[in-house]
Amino acid sequence: MMVRRGRLGLAVLAVVAAGAGCGADTTSRRGEAPPATGARLAVAGERLGGLPAVPVSALEIPAPAPLADQDTVATWAPVLRRVAARARPRGDARQVGTLATRTPEATGNIVAVIGRRTVGTAVWVRVRLASLPNGRVGWVPRRALGGYETVDTRLVVDRARRTATLLRAGRRVFSAPIGVGRAATPTPAGEFYVRNVLHRYASPTYGPVAFGTSARAPTLTDWPAGGFVGIHGTDQPELLPGAVSHGCIRLRNADILRLARLMPVGTPITVT
Amino acid sequence: MGGTDEHVAAAPGGMPRRRLLGLGFAAGGAALAAGWGLAGPAPSLAAPSPAQDAEILGFALGLEDLQETFYRQAAASSVLPAGDLRDFVETVREHETAHASYLRTLLGAGAPAPAAFTFTTELASPESIASTAILLEDLAVRAYNGQAGNLTTAALAEAAKVVSVDARHAAWIRSIVGQPPASEPTDPGVTAADVTATLTKAGLG
Amino acid sequence: MSGLPAGFDRDGAVAETLAVAEAAASRRAFLRGAVAGATGLGALTALPEARAASRNDVAILNYALSLEELQSAFYTEAERSKALSGETGVAARTIGAVERAHVKALRKVLGRAAIRRPFFDFQGVTEDPDKFLKTAVAFEDLAVAAYKGQATLVDDPAVLAAAISIHSVEARHAAWIRYLVGTTPTVAALDEPKSKDEVLQIVRATGFIAQRPKTRSRRRPGFTG
């Protein structure tokens, strides 16, 4: 429903007369001292129905629309407190992992939120753990996490086809050839999420931008900083597409830069 | 549009109903009919001014008086059941009385006297009471919104305190009768001509 | 073709959001070590383009935008939480759609002068029907008072028309939610305004505006490669 424009056709904000009065004066200038040009009060002389005409709104308000994205939206939240993740939403359930507040890359840790349950008065949240074995999930108390953010993107990594495709609201907005892990050091399959973005580091091996994910290289358990799978650029683009890495997903530098403009942190990643 | 005489509704005692319409303007948008409205030539009004405030608030007062009259008569009506609807009518009656009194105080000696009016079909049933309330409250909100930009700062501050309460009334009565209380994203202002046309069409002008 | 005076920056509203965000940040353990500037609110570029409007009106529109973002996020998150049912659910869906529309409209008219969307943490309030309703009442009453407090400060009639036409809608929302809670839809015969300072203080006190998580870094990647 568009706000009707009315007879005056004032569709945009009127220029306040030559910026007159746009100074330190904080009181309204609309009142008893009209501007010299009268530009903003084009109603001069038009008295319709005896009272002056009605000024038109500066805002065009679109028709309110329901949320249509429940199927494609994913939620994430920052970890505010170091906390045990449990197999069930109970304080005495078996611990299946730990949520740290920071990542090895010195960013705030975030988790993908995939479920919720209210137990009595306490809200528990189901989250993806960035640990081995891959695919592990656990329950944490709501108060261990910060505010929810949602994303409407999903990255689909097809190891057989060696492609990475970014969907937004279910529609393809990006696709590129990739390098994936070699047979001995495969990129793990499953559901993960983008945990952070690294940039402005000096390391051509990783290209201009690198995304950290929640995925761990299953065969590199001794890797420093945990052996996380990243999505990054490369200084060997001639190897792509191919099974060439220790688990990371490599893109040509131009492609990773494009992806960086389209893919926010928290984006879920499906690796098949 | 025709002249004012077409929708005169003389009421027993007090001012003829059309005084509301005549105050400050002519329903047809034409020049003021002789004897109606403010004496003398219309001030050259585009910018807000105290004189224009008086016209606008006088017009608003007419609407508040009409609402006050309506709720007073509804409260006295035998068709009003106890419960939500009665609570609404009685509370809102107090508010509209306060609104009218507030505007009268602002207008001072120049405030128009209330026009007498007798609601009839509007009070026939709880449903008609509710639908009339919705009409009047929505109309008041949009009338105020329409003229907000034409008021001086001081008058706007006062009018703003009233209009949001009328908006609350509108959502309240809709909630009571099970209508969506607030489905539109804005309340665009309407002109005074629209207001009179609406009232006329509803048989209240 | 900006109508803004030279050297204008929009950090009036941003500074407010920043101040609010920083106040919340100081209570957050995980932001230990984060510098005040790293709130993620984004670099302030000089001379953001905006439709011709006074600095004053841009600040007011941004203030309105910040409140609409707060409400929009609140209702949207509540709807997504699926914790609400019945008439409360209907209200959250309907009002949320309206607040989202308000946000869109304000962002469109502000263009690049619009503040960045703040980061919110509703701390489980959107996931509990009782807490949701009580907070919704407070938000809507606050929005009415906030718009009312700004109406007399607006320069341009078109901006005023916009603000005043939203102001009464927020009042309808307030009455609706109050009705659902079982409390009187009106507060008094006259509604009172609140100043911007007062409103922002109330918002700050909720703790709902949080520091944006720091998810970018210049560390050299240690991934497996």
Which chains border A (3 or more CB–CB pairs < 8 Å)?
B, C
When comparing pLDDT for A118 and B205, which is higher? Answer: A118
Minimal CA separation from B8 to chain C, in Å: 31
Q: Do the beta carbons of residue A110 and residue A78 sit within 8 Å?
A: yes
Interface test with C, best of A4, A57, A231 (most C CBs within 10 A): A57
Mean pLDDT confidence for A95-105? 96
Q: Do the beta carbons of residue A22 and residue A16 sit within 8 Å?
A: yes
Q: How far apart are CA B71 and CA B93, in angstroms?
A: 5
Residue range B175-186, pLDDT digits in tens: 999 999 998 999
How far does Cα A94 stand from its chain's mean position?
32
Instruction: Tell whether A120 lies on the interface with C, counting CB pairs under 8 A.
Output: no
Mean pLDDT confidence for B63-82? 96
If you search the block for the tokens 């932001």, which residue do you land on?
C31
Q: Do C220 and A110 touch (CB under 8 A)?
A: no
CA nearest to B97 within chain C? C189
Q: Do the beta carbons of residue A65 and residue C102 sit within 8 Å?
A: no
CB contact burial A219-231 (16+ within 10 A = b; e otherwise): bbeebeebbbbbb
Taking every pair of Cα atoms in chain A, the longest distance, rounded to a whole number of angstroms, is 85
Residue range A132-161, pLDDT digits in tens: 899 999 999 999 999 999 999 999 999 999
Residue range A223-255, pLDDT digits in tens: 777 789 999 999 999 999 999 999 999 999 999
Instruction: Tell whether B52 lies on the interface with A, counting CB pairs under 8 A.
Output: yes
Instruction: Tell whether B187 lies on the interface with C, counting CB pairs under 8 A.
Output: yes
pLDDT at residue A132 in the model: 86
Q: Rounded to whole angstroms, what are the CA distances from C91 to C14, C33, C50?
A: 30, 41, 34
Q: Report the residue from C94, C153, C166 with minimal CB separation from A28.
A: C153
Instruction: Tell whether B45 lies on the interface with C, counting CB pairs under 8 A.
Output: no
Q: Which strand ranges, in their side-by-side order, compose the sheet holding A149-151? A: A95-99, A83-86, A137-141, A122-128, A110-119, A74-78, A149-151
Q: Do B188 and A4 touch (CB under 8 A)?
A: yes
Instruction: Tell whether C86 lies on the interface with A, counting CB pairs under 8 A.
Output: no
Residue range B127-174, pLDDT digits in tens: 999 999 999 999 999 999 999 999 999 999 999 999 999 999 999 999
Q: Do B169 and C175 touch (CB under 8 A)?
A: yes
Residue range A11-28, pLDDT digits in tens: 223 322 223 333 333 344
pLDDT at residue A265 in the model: 98
* DSSP string computed for A116-160: EEEETTEEEEEEE-SSSSTT-EEEEEGGGB---EEE-EEEEEETT
Catalytically active residues of A are 232, 248
Instruction: Tell whether B168 lies on the interface with C, counting CB pairs under 8 A.
Output: yes
pLDDT in tens, chain C (225 residues): 333 333 233 334 444 554 454 444 333 322 222 332 233 222 222 223 344 688 999 999 999 999 999 999 999 999 999 999 999 999 999 999 999 999 999 999 999 999 999 999 999 999 999 999 999 999 999 999 999 999 999 999 899 999 999 999 999 999 999 999 999 999 999 999 999 999 999 999 999 999 999 999 999 999 988
pLDDT at residue B29 in the model: 26
pLDDT at residue C39 in the model: 30
Neighbours of C52 (CB within 10 A): 16
Q: Report the residue from C162, C168, C180 with minimal CB separation from B164.
A: C168
Q: Do C158 and A27 touch (CB under 8 A)?
A: no
Which range among A179-183, B48-52, C95-99 shows the weakest confidence by mean pLDDT? Answer: B48-52
CA dihedral B72, B78, B82, B84 (to 10 degrees): -50
CA nearest to A48 within chain B? B29
Residue range A27-86, pLDDT digits in tens: 444 544 433 332 222 233 345 457 888 888 989 999 999 998 888 999 999 999 999 999
Q: How far apart are CA B118 and CA A237, in angstroms?
A: 86
CA nearest to B142 within chain C? C165
The residues that bridge with C210 in the sheet, in sequence order, are C119
Q: Do the beta carbons of residue C111 and residue C62 sit within 8 Å?
A: no
Helix (H, G, I), strand (E, B) or coil at B14: coil
Residue A242 burial by CB count (10 A; 0-12/13-18/19+): exposed, middle or buried?
middle
Minimal CA separation from B76 to chain A, in Å: 34
Instruction: Tell whether C154 lies on the interface with A, counting CB pairs under 8 A.
Output: yes
Chain A residue numbers touching B48 (CB-CB < 8 A): 30-32, 34
Instruction: Tell whether C69 lies on the interface with A, counting CB pairs under 8 A.
Output: no
Mean pLDDT confidence for A199-215? 95
Minimal CA separation from C192 to chain B, in Å: 6
pLDDT at residue B47 in the model: 83
Instruction: Tell whether C98 lies on the interface with A, counting CB pairs under 8 A.
Output: yes
Minimal CA separation from B19 to chain A, in Å: 14
Minimal CA separation from C119 to chain A, in Å: 7
Instruction: Tell whether B15 lies on the interface with A, counting CB pairs under 8 A.
Output: no
CA nearest to A61 within chain B? B185
Q: Do C189 and B94 touch (CB under 8 A)?
A: yes
Q: Do A212 and C223 touch (CB under 8 A)?
A: yes
Minimal CA separation from B126 to chain A, in Å: 32
Rounded to 5 degrees, φ, ψ at B118 are: -115, 120
Which chains border B (3 or more CB–CB pairs < 8 Å)?
A, C
